[in-house]
Structure 1
């Protein structure tokens, strides 16, 4: 009997310790709750768009000629009507002088024949012939002036001019680009959306655009035009929005991420931390009489740190927002702000530590 005494004592000791552990109450979990309320949610359409100038034109040489002067600085501002470039007009000036002289002579001859006709010394046919000659001479003079005007290139609107690629003295051929003038006081933003989302947008809707150059600065604008024709290859429709650009931060050619605030609604919501996933199902813990009840819910979109709740709960119910990981269905909880005197669920009378 004596050899087995240490084994018996050890077994009794372990049994006593095990019983003591089983009797030790669990601490009541501390949680934070808030009532379920309605929140504004927005259905957004995401797209990628390209920035375009409000107005943009490439000014080209109308004829093959030598450049006499360029009157703009690289990237400088030009006003409407300002002379951008002058082409050589020596030959055209000579042609104009000749045409004006011919027109003057024809006009004087017309006056003389008219006087003779009034006195009966000239026929009507002679007068008509001279009228035609006088008109032709004036037309030739106007043609020479127009030819000179074509060699003076002006800005068609206020804008910013591109970097210069030609120099005075260079001979340019007809169609050679001399400068690009861009009005970027506002920006046209073109993007496409799927045909299936066409019913969600309309002109006047607000949009928000973000560029890689200014990632922390959203640019707000509105939809101005929706293309009436859908591209049959992509089944998408092109949309054009207008963005104010008072500080010229946006440049034509920029790639921007577009968010269209298509539809706004009020729905019940909870913080993202309140939602627990189990496979394809979602749950929240509703607190009633200090008891947490695991409740299945239907969820919608996530926005600004909150989850849209479509079913399973009612407005005003208290949902756990902090301490969800400590909970199981039916457990008694202690609320933030309570004194540390909550009773454990087994009724032992010992407060949670």
Structure 2
């Protein structure tokens, strides 16, 4: 046998098959299907976030003015008291006895003064004796007034309407001066104090609306307004203290609560596109604008992001169509088709 002719024939057959395989027709690339929408203007706000502490509208700690025994407590734990209502009454037996003695002295001094005035009118009393008796009568009245004031101090009243704290003392106890009897809090509305950095001071003003959220009521925001801005900036923190007023229906907010505050500092109308429309390349941002059925890559300037939208501050005009779905499949100048368009020939078939 001659192996060389057989080897040559085999190589020729392999080359022929390889040539036939190289002429195989390639599958045409499918035209990407995308969604697009015309951009329009949307309302955007610059929110300032802070953390604040809730305070009562009015709050006072009622304390014992003197060391004395408690005779009666006229409030229940967490109860409501009205302005002027007696909260506690202390023992006044000694003061009442002193008042009775002072009143008797005052009456006697007044009677003596009346007699001397009558004698003076008839010329039987001197002016010096009249002046002396007048001073005695006035001193007796002052002593009686002092006893009345001491009795009044031992009756503790609510200075305004509100809710009292839990009771920590009982009737019959002897308490020293300055001991807290009850705390009265007016929580019909809440004062909310928070701090704002010095750099954001120009973005807030009195009367601006705020929204506060409490961890106790996560799904129920509380709306209010800025009432006062502290005229002094803290030199240690470079922040200013701001006070807002919040209505408190149902008394859901309690003094001491921690709330997250959002200040709606500036509202405006700007062009907006969905977040999925914007692609990033380093520090630059781009969108794909449709010109007919051609996607053109356009650089844009962006602002804030809110509710799934991105603010467009430059690079686009209202009414332009922007690709919102299928952005990842596009390149600059790519041909696209929209829902409802006929598929390109061979787009869904193998070659």
TM over 0.5: yes
Q: Does 1:318 align with 2:321?
A: yes
CA distance in 2: counterparts of 1:330 and 1:258, whole angstroms = 46
Q: Does 1:69 align with 2:72?
A: yes
Tell me what 2:300 maps to: 297
CA distance in 2: counterparts of 1:65 and 1:9, whole angstroms = 121
- Mean CA deviation greater in 234-243 or 34-43: 34-43
Q: Does 1:11 align with 2:18?
A: yes
| 1:106 aligned residue (109, 112, 119) | 109
| 1:226 aligned residue (221, 226, 229) | 229
Secondary structure of 1:247's counterpart equals helix
Q: Does 1:134 align with 2:137?
A: yes
Tell me what 1:346 maps to: none
Secondary structure of 1:163's counterpart equals coil
- Mean CA deviation greater in 24-33 or 132-141: 24-33
CA distance in 1: counterparts of 2:9 and 2:76, whole angstroms = 111
Say whether the 8 Å CA contact 2:188–2:249 is kept in structure 1: yes
Tell me what 2:279 maps to: 276
Q: CA offset at residue 6 of structure 1?
A: 6.8
Say whether the 8 Å CA contact 2:63–2:178 is kept in structure 1: yes
- Seen in structure 2, the aligned counterparts of structure 1 residues 352 and 283 have a Cα distance that, compared at 3 Å, is farther
Secondary structure of 1:328's counterpart equals coil
Q: CA offset at residue 173 of structure 1?
A: 0.8
Say whether the 8 Å CA contact 1:75–1:163 is kept in structure 2: yes
CA distance in 1: counterparts of 2:153 and 2:275, whole angstroms = 67
Q: CA offset at residue 28 of structure 1?
A: 2.2
Equivalent pairs counted in the alignment come to: 342
| 1:178 aligned residue (181, 189, 195) | 181
CA distance in 2: counterparts of 1:39 and 1:150, whole angstroms = 63
CA distance in 2: counterparts of 1:87 and 1:134, whole angstroms = 30
Q: CA offset at residue 4 of structure 1?
A: 4.1
Unaligned segments of structure 2, at least 5 residues = 1-7
Q: TM-score, normalised by structure 1?
A: 0.92
CA distance in 2: counterparts of 1:125 and 1:75, whole angstroms = 61
Q: CA offset at residue 351 of structure 1?
A: 5.2
Tell me what 1:80 maps to: 83
Say whether the 8 Å CA contact 2:191–2:245 is kept in structure 1: yes
Tell me what 1:35 maps to: 38
Say whether the 8 Å CA contact 2:30–2:346 is kept in structure 1: no
Say whether the 8 Å CA contact 1:28–1:352 is kept in structure 2: no
- Mean CA deviation greater in 146-155 or 43-52: 43-52
